[in-house]
Structure 1
């Protein structure tokens, strides 16, 4: 892909969430293409490394990727025995995991010291790419003379807004309007309903967040560059916001989109493909709220009733509702209208998929007409690169801002609900109307598909030989890291 550089060692340190880990594996592949002679090592805790090794072993394209295990005992940090990732904890316990990972700094420093010694004693031959939630890696990198970069797991606009929010905790919305003021970006309008519950929760939770980000944010200004999984022409405003604030190279090297989804069971994949194959183009609504999110039981009922009213075909990746074990069994008889699943199955109008769904395969299929999504960044990129309009139901974090960017800047998302807390408003009538607007023969649907064709073209040319913006951004990044 590019001219080979001198042998280097790239050390990757993601935060342990499914979206974060998969994004880092993608960027590892990109860096391997740019620096084919470099050693690339992903560092994490035992369970995370074991899972990633299993995936890498089944994918010959990941054979270049090495792993290093940092010692970690969850119980030492008040975590359940098997808890080494955000997938394994309840959302409000996320700061337990963040703080536990801070305790890995000494072990990481020891590893980095050994890596520098193995490279001949010069930190110039080792560089670190970390998640912003592990910003403490900057300290070890500086101590060992290594260049350092951040790689957020979300897009430019979402990263910019989150950075502003985290920099000014606690969040205090205007009592009259609900508006949240962002000092760095006065032109951006954020509403309290678009702020994750961690920042609006009980004082004890807010205080922990204030302390944690108070430690991490200053370190962010000591890094050398930022990689972003986006495209210059797709997020020009978000990228401009980040560059104005950080004042370091911000390099959009996307789109990094998974070729395949996380593994679904063979039975689930076969059922999905069979369902899609027997329906007409753009006729099926795909519904998924990601690997770590779910909606409330009463909201599931509203969504199910709206689907029946609309008579639209659907594939719904279901997980237990909020307040239940998200990894547990999904009980349709308790959380959906009586007979809903049976009616959908016997009429061949709908399919409930329990656990992992083959998302990339679904979005790439001609029968898929829209995606009702939580607007996580991986899902956003997978949807727009396959030309699938989005019905947005953001639930947490930067998902609110992803939906906002897609809606305001490109017009390829219609937001139908926001959040999954007690006061979240979900109306079956609104769901019905939005599904019909996006999937029907409407002017809005036609405009969304036109805009998606433009986005798809932007994505496709971003890595075009010599002239592509992402290719140029990768060269800018390598120069910022003294690798060119």
Structure 2
């Protein structure tokens, strides 16, 4: 009997990780209806995923047991969206307890489907799954929702901690000099404070070291503009690296934020009434917010710029992220009244239909935290970026977008930097103004990247794009893999 392919996907418990995994699962299902696709996650995340799957999808959702209160976390803490940043490391440490139940779930699937050939696609935070795959004799790959460049910087920083051996504010990465100079204020706080013995360092050193045991890495990126970062991993790990992006959710797929939001129809009708390329979209992702001082400066900048805008807001740092947004406290005096009067702006609480907004003809630029999902969604529609990176590899995504491919201008850096409204206005005008030479160039570059992205996923008239090749090579390697379970010692 011919073996049927079963692919098990296991994302980390964070929306920024779950969304690209869901997109990949749907992409794999569309690629071959005969593939059995299963997504494993904790109970509350599975509940949320149920509402995100199209009705005609046959993707299976499988719960892995997890009780957050057993790990000194608040009850029902199963996603980074629901915890303050200082507890994220506790959730990551708690995820190590999933090893035994994960192995048991995979063994159960193998028993239930004896004529299936299983492959595991795991998150970048679940390096330990490569050991489970090895023990069971299964093909295993890591799937990165990050860019190759951004993740190469992040990987190199954690593995080398180069900022610990210099007092300089600028330094090179010892095994990734192609990134040129890294600035100390580009380091996320957890790396900046790392000394090799702290909880983050201990977790990441073991986690990242485990990747070498995988059979390959999938990147949600495009080789034509991300080859420098992708080449780093080929060289460093000596395993296949496949770029398969952009793997993004189509419009209407996926779930809302934590309960706020706007009706997509209302938002799109507002955009329909605006001139072409006249709107600035502002959103900092599902995990980020800015300080109250930064928020006040950004609000003032939007008023003074006179530009149309859609701004997804959340309470500033230091306030309950799930609480009501208090515009009268956190925005300039009379701000809401003015935008109602002039109809220049749309303030949205917590969630907006991002893909639909970025694909709308009235949108000219995107002020973003440079999370890679958001970057791909923006560039997929030729929308240039105003960068305000805040955490993780976002600083290096922004660096690549600005220095390597010229589609971005950095507005600010981090959640605690001082920002002035005058500087924000200047950057907005630099990107959006028809009279700005640099803006014209940035917009042209964004359109070139859009075309590269579309070519990467094209498969017609004998032409096969690089990302189509990438997914085909991965599936072929999984199908041809002949691995044996390790014998118990």
TM-score where L is the length of structure 2: 0.92
Q: State the alpha-carbon separation in 1 of the partners of residues 353 and 114 from structure 2.
A: 45
Counterpart for residue 299 of structure 2: 304
User: Is residue 409 of structure 2 the alignment partner of residue 436 of structure 1?
Assistant: no
- Structure 1 spans left out of the alignment, 5+ residues: none
Runs of 4 or more above 6 Å deviation: none
User: Is residue 59 of structure 2 the alignment partner of residue 65 of structure 1?
Assistant: yes
Counterparts of residues 137-152 of structure 1 (less than 5 Å): 137-152=129-144
User: Is residue 274 of structure 2 the alignment partner of residue 282 of structure 1?
Assistant: no
Counterpart for residue 94 of structure 1: 88
Counterparts of residues 49-448 of structure 1 (less than 5 Å): 49-56=46-53, 59-60=54-55, 63-120=57-114, 125-169=117-161, 171-172=163-164, 174-175=166-167, 177-188=168-179, 189-201=181-193, 207-260=198-251, 262-263=254-255, 267-421=262-416, 424-441=417-434, 442-448=436-442
Q: State the alpha-carbon separation in 2 of the partners of residues 330 and 270 from structure 1.
A: 22
Q: State the alpha-carbon separation in 2 of the partners of residues 109 and 169 from structure 1.
A: 33
Give the secondary-structure state (helix, strand or coil) at the position aligned to 1:25.
helix
Give the secondary-structure state (helix, strand or coil) at the position aligned to 1:322.
coil
1:446/1:132 CA distance change after superposition, 3 Å: same
Post-superposition shift, 1:171?
A: 4.6
Give the secondary-structure state (helix, strand or coil) at the position aligned to 1:298.
helix
Q: State the alpha-carbon separation in 2 of the partners of residues 215 and 249 from structure 1.
A: 21
Q: Contact 2:221 / 2:246 at 8 angstroms: preserved in 1?
A: yes
Q: Contact 1:138 / 1:219 at 8 angstroms: preserved in 2?
A: yes
Q: Which has the higher contact order (CA 8 A, sep 6+)?
A: 2
Post-superposition shift, 1:55?
A: 1.6
Counterpart for residue 444 of structure 2: 450
TM-score where L is the length of structure 1: 0.93
Q: Contact 1:171 / 1:199 at 8 angstroms: preserved in 2?
A: no
Post-superposition shift, 1:357?
A: 0.7
Q: State the alpha-carbon separation in 2 of the partners of residues 481 and 275 from structure 1.
A: 47
Counterpart for residue 462 of structure 1: 456
1:433/1:445 CA distance change after superposition, 3 Å: same
Q: Contact 1:12 / 1:24 at 8 angstroms: preserved in 2?
A: yes
1:8/1:202 CA distance change after superposition, 3 Å: closer
Post-superposition shift, 1:452?
A: 1.6
Q: Contact 1:48 / 1:85 at 8 angstroms: preserved in 2?
A: yes
Post-superposition shift, 1:201?
A: 3.2
1:267/1:236 CA distance change after superposition, 3 Å: closer
Post-superposition shift, 1:214?
A: 2.5
Q: State the alpha-carbon separation in 2 of the partners of residues 255 and 209 from structure 1.
A: 29
Q: Contact 1:42 / 1:67 at 8 angstroms: preserved in 2?
A: yes
Q: Contact 1:200 / 1:206 at 8 angstroms: preserved in 2?
A: no
Q: State the alpha-carbon separation in 2 of the partners of residues 148 and 314 from structure 1.
A: 44
Q: State the alpha-carbon separation in 2 of the partners of residues 191 and 415 from structure 1.
A: 14
Pick one of 469, 472, 480 that aligns with 1:472: 469
Post-superposition shift, 1:86?
A: 0.8
Post-superposition shift, 1:263?
A: 4.5
Q: Contact 1:263 / 1:358 at 8 angstroms: preserved in 2?
A: no
Give the secondary-structure state (helix, strand or coil) at the position aligned to 2:224.
coil
Q: State the alpha-carbon separation in 2 of the partners of residues 218 and 334 from structure 1.
A: 46
Q: State the alpha-carbon separation in 1 of the partners of residues 126 and 155 from structure 2.
A: 14
- Structure 2 spans left out of the alignment, 5+ residues: 482-489
Post-superposition shift, 1:36?
A: 2.4
**Deviation string, structure 1 residues 240-289 (Cα, Å, up to 9, x no partner):** 12211121110001111221264457854233223211110111111111
Counterparts of residues 1-12 of structure 1 (less than 5 Å): 6-12=3-9
More divergent stretch after superposition (194-203 vs 283-292): 194-203
